Amino acid sequence: VIDLGQPEHAVITTCAYCGVGCGFKAEMKGDKVIRMTPWKDGKANRGHACVKGRFAWGYATHQDRILNPMIRKSITDPWQEVSWDEAINYAASEFRRIQDQHGRDAVGGITSSRCTNEETYLVQKLVRAAFGTNNVDTCARVCHSPTGYGLKMTLGESAGTQTFDSVMHTDVVIVMGANPSAAHPVFASRLKRRLRQGARLIVIDPRQTELVSSPHIQADYHLPLRPGTNTAILTAMAHVIVTENLVNETYVAERCDTAAFNEWRSFVSQPQNSPEAMAEICGVSAEDIRGAARLYATGGNGSIYYGLGVTEHSQGSTTVMAIANLAMATGNVGREGVGVNPLRGQNNVQGSCDMGSFPHEFPGYRHVSDTSVRQQFEEAWGVSLQSEPGLRIPNMFEAALSGSFKGLYCQGEDIVQSDPNTQHVAAAMAAMECVVVQDLFLNETAKYAHVFLPGSSFLEKDGTFTNAERRISRVRKVMEPKAGMADWEVTCALARALGYPMSYEHPGQIMDEIARLTPTFTGVSYDRIQELGGSVQWPCNEQAPEGTPTMHIDEFVRGKGRFMLTQYVPTEERSSRKFPLLLTTGRILSQYNVGAQTRRTDNVAWHAEDLLEIHPVDAEDRGIRSGDKVSVKSRAGETALRATVTERVQPGVVYTTFHFPESGANVVTTNNSDWATNCPEYKVTAVQIQRVTSE
Ligand code: SF4
């Protein structure tokens, strides 16, 4: 036991990890954090926390932190430490050189859901106003961009409908493509409390997650569908609801676009959408599909929580719309205990999308082609802005490989490790002439960088994060930026070096500018957040001065809810004789995403490598036992993992996590992506597995 002593003071801030957004007290002795204690008044967590937020903050002071700006002319040269001015001026001169030689759109920026709202807002402002292009994107591209598209099309707003507390009023829960016990543990504990009180549970997931069967919880239905068939199973459930007269006709007549509903009703009623027809496609019995649909439609307040197992598919956006269809058809949107709830992976996925870091949208999800909106930003920022959407992240890679995209500013995102088909991404990065990485560590992406700008950890920041329930929470500086400049100051300095005036005295001024320009944020300020107890859920404006816990109460944001047709289209990624198994991916409790933070903490003691889960039948066929090293080969690439033989996965399906660069799960993932948003299809990769070495 290490005696950390008694704290002398504490600072309230917000966790750096998942989309639950737990409030924490950083307890300090002198200028050192000695412990992170969950904040009992935090509205997202109410005094709870998980092993990541509570114990995995040591990365902030890890020896791997890079604290000096660095440049190099070529990615094969050694790094050279330089002053902040020199690094920023060099980056700016390179971006301008590239634009002079190759055109305005030859450069762009990527921001991250690990950055605050204020930092993300500044990155898109820099790209739009200083670079003069809409080539800006966020890592939400590769996780929840289909949520933004699907919920906007159906309900009218790109956000979840409820508070986390709402789950305490639910009667039937569908958890689809999500493993909250590992990825959103504090929400999971609230959900489990409600389940122990008697709420019913349907889990739709290829894998037997902890929720399916644990000592105190047994799911009423587990639909272990074949990876890639989400749309099929939801359309089959809709078929049951329509053909067995389980639609909430009054709700639909009053709240929804009835022409669209009637079209949807006749579409889902078709025999090819019946559970019997879809059962073989999904690998789930028709009887279970029918039972789950009946339970959701008739069991009282029905709520749906979903994760990346929904979005990271070639039909990710279609599946999100299929979820919204089910909720509208059964009258399950617009009050406590119901709703459609994306479980966001990172703490500020919602915020990074809200802040306009998409190539087609300004802050507040307003399209760049909207002249009146564009004029508003042009007046506020004092520049003329482009009306054509810019490049998405995968388009940037393609453009780099074809020679038309040459310069990238990448803040807080390790795209080389995070994005699919690593070889493709690495080749694109190597083809660029100026890559500027702003991060805590020399990550995989920094291997392709020409300028490295040291980032600041959440303990060194002032700002806000917006969690999965639209809750804007304050992040407060616990210590001064270790490298001497906060991330927002670096972005401003880069803009000024590019010749665009961008200065603020404090991130609170950035939030004031966001509020002036974003209708759903007009009532948000740091003072107002403080008055409201430390957080507020947007929309927060004249109509909702105290924020909005539940959305779409009297009408949908878009007016009438719109049913969308959700035709199942099989993914192009098929198993074959050569690649007979389907690989899907997920997370473990103690690690977080690509592990850049948690791998640099004591959490590695709980989980030190990524493992490949394989069913006993498939393992026996290949002579594999738990502990064996196996090769995992796909059409895109090959990696090696240690196997664990388990019935948590179905025959024909294998599963791994992606926390360690050595195992490189993304070496094998493909270039397939969601048809509407280009969110990569991480969740379906046809692979062959062979034993390499014995235990
Ligand atoms: Fe809360 Fe998520 Fe942080 Fe865990 S990782 S403490 S659940 S915000």
Distance (Å, whole) CA 431 – CA 438 = 19
Residues 157, 129 share a domain: no
Kindly report the protein residue whose alpha carbon is nearest to atom 4 of ligand 1: 50
Give residue 7's pLDDT: 84
Distance 462 CA to ligand 1 centre (A): 19
Helix orientation angle between 275-282 and 286-298, rounded to the nearest 10 degrees:
120
Kindly report the protein residue whose alpha carbon is nearest to atom 2 of ligand 1: 18
Per residue in 289-309, pLDDT (tens digit) is 999 999 999 999 999 999 989
Nearest residue to 653 via CA among 692, 620, 686 = 686
> Is residue 197 classed exposed, middle or buried when 0-12, 13-18 and 19+ CB atoms within 10 A define those classes?
exposed
Give residue 695's pLDDT: 58
Nearest residue to 405 via CA among 18, 99, 43, 94 = 99
Give the residue with greater pLDDT, 588 vs 585.
585
Best residue for ligand 1 mutational test, from 39, 50, 469, 592 (most atoms within 8 Å of Cβ): 50
Residues 310, 170 share a domain: yes
Give residue 4's pLDDT: 65
Residues 171, 264 share a domain: yes
Residues 336, 254 share a domain: yes
Q: Is the peptide bond before 78 cis (omega within 30 degrees of 0)?
A: no
Spell out a b/e string for 200-217, using b for 16 or more CB atoms within 10 Å of the CB, else e: bbbbbbbbbbbbbeeeeb
Neighbours of 40 (CB within 10 A): 11
Q: ipTM, 2 decimals?
A: 0.99
Residues 496, 443 share a domain: yes
Residues 491, 355 share a domain: yes
Give residue 598's pLDDT: 80
* Tokens describing residue 285: 């019995």
Q: Which amino acid belongs to residue 103?
A: G
- What is the domain range of residue 214? 145-342
Residues 283, 135 share a domain: no
Q: What is the mean pLDDT of residues 543-549?
A: 95
Q: What is the CATH number of the domain that holds 176?
A: 3.40.228.10
Minimum-distance ligand 1 atom for the alpha carbon of 186: 7
Q: Give the confidence band of 439 by pLDDT, cuts at 50, 70, 90.
A: very high
Residues 168, 87 share a domain: no
Residues 82, 185 share a domain: no
Q: Give the confidence band of 687 by pLDDT, cuts at 50, 70, 90.
A: very high
Q: DSSP character for 25? A: E
Best residue for ligand 1 mutational test, from 13, 18, 535 (most atoms within 8 Å of Cβ): 18
Neighbours of 295 (CB within 10 A): 19
Q: Which residues does residue 81 pair with via DSSP β-bridges, in sequence order? A: 70
Distance (Å, whole) CA 634 – CA 585 = 14
Kindly report the protein residue whose alpha carbon is nearest to atom 3 of ligand 1: 53
Per residue in 128-184, pLDDT (tens digit) is 999 999 999 988 787 788 998 999 999 999 999 999 999 999 999 999 999 999 899
**How many domains does the structure of the chain reveal?**
4
Kindly report the protein residue whose alpha carbon is nearest to atom 1 of ligand 1: 22
Distance 229 CA to ligand 1 centre (A): 30
Helix orientation angle between 286-298 and 230-243, rounded to the nearest 10 degrees:
60
Minimum-distance ligand 1 atom for the alpha carbon of 21: 8
Minimum-distance ligand 1 atom for the alpha carbon of 347: 8
Residue 250 has pLDDT above 50, yes or no: yes
Residues 374, 338 share a domain: no
Q: Which of the residue ranges 32-41, 119-128, 415-424 has the most confident prediction, judged by mean pLDDT?
A: 119-128
Residues 432, 327 share a domain: no
Minimum-distance ligand 1 atom for the alpha carbon of 45: 1
Q: Which amino acid belongs to residue 458?
A: F
Per residue in 603-654, pLDDT (tens digit) is 777 777 889 999 999 999 999 999 999 999 999 899 999 999 999 999 999 9
Distance 184 CA to ligand 1 centre (A): 6
Give the residue with greater pLDDT, 286 vs 667.
286
Q: What is the CATH number of the domain that holds 56?
A: 2.20.25.90
Residues with CB under 6 A from ligand 1: 15, 17-18, 20-22, 45, 49-50, 52-53, 184-186
Residues 207, 308 share a domain: yes
Give residue 694's pLDDT: 65
Distance (Å, whole) CA 229 – CA 683 = 11
Give residue 1's pLDDT: 42
**In a domain? residue 57:** yes
